[in-house]
Structure 1
Amino acid sequence: MYAIVDISGKQFKVTQDQFVYAPLMAGEEGASVEFDKVLLIDNNGTVEVGAPTVSGAKVSGKIIGHVKGDKVIVFKKKRRKGYKKKNGHRQNFTKVLIETISK
């Protein structure tokens, strides 16, 4: 059984007992979260597609922790001008354990 869920504007394909790195959410470690924007549910070959969401479907999970992603280097240069800029960025994520998918 899997579901496609909209979490903070991004779509994730989730199954039970799976870890998902979602965009940063408010909440402490160990807090439970529910996602009600379920776009699709597949229950052993029976697919139900929402218009735009599946009514009555919920995905619940637990926040494991808040982590940072890999560093992305942004380097700008203009040749023969002496212009160089180097900048880095690390995106914040929330690690979520998907506990149940219910219809």
Structure 2
Amino acid sequence: MYAIVEIAGQQFKVEKGRFIYTNRLAGEANAELVFDKVLLVDNEGTVSIGAPTVAGASVKVTILEHLKGEKVIVFKKKRRKGYQKQNGHRQALTKIQIEEIVA
């Protein structure tokens, strides 16, 4: 059984017991959250597609930890002008575990 769910503006394919990294969510570690924006549910071949969401479906998750992603280097340069600028960025992420899919 899997579902397509919208979490923090992004769509994810989720299955029970899987881990997902999303953009930073509000909540402490070990907190439980419920997401109601379920767009599709596949239950052993029986597919339910929402318009725009599936009625009565939800996904229960547990926040495991808050962390930062890999460093991304942004380098800008204009040739023959002596202009160079280097900047780094680490995205704030939340690791969540899918506990249950209610359809």
- CA RMSD for the aligned pairs? 0.5
Separation in structure 1 between the aligned mates of residue 67 and residue 40 of structure 2, nearest angstrom: 28
> Identity of paired residues, percent?
62
Separation in structure 1 between the aligned mates of residue 42 and residue 102 of structure 2, nearest angstrom: 11
The secondary structure found in structure 2 opposite 1:48 is: strand
Separation in structure 2 between the aligned mates of residue 91 and residue 57 of structure 1, nearest angstrom: 30
What residue in structure 2 maps to residue 81 of structure 1? 81
What residue in structure 2 maps to residue 17 of structure 1? 17
What residue in structure 2 maps to residue 96 of structure 1? 96
Shift of 1:67: 1.0
Counterpart of 2:97, as a letter, is: L
TM-score in terms of structure 1 length: 0.99
What residue in structure 2 maps to residue 27 of structure 1? 27
Q: Indicate whether 1:40 and 2:25 are aligned.
A: no
Q: Which runs of 5+ in 2 are unaligned?
A: none
Q: Which runs of 5+ in 1 are unaligned?
A: none
Counterpart of 1:25, as a letter, is: L
| Runs of 4 or more consecutive aligned structure 1 residues displaced over 2 Å after TM superposition | none
What residue in structure 2 maps to residue 51 of structure 1? 51
Shift of 1:42: 0.1
Residues 11-41 of structure 1: CA distance to partner in whole angstroms, max 9, x if unpaired? 0000000001011011000000110000000
The secondary structure found in structure 1 opposite 2:65 is: strand
What residue in structure 2 maps to residue 63 of structure 1? 63
The secondary structure found in structure 2 opposite 1:12 is: strand
TM-score in terms of structure 2 length: 0.99
**Number of residues paired by the alignment?**
103
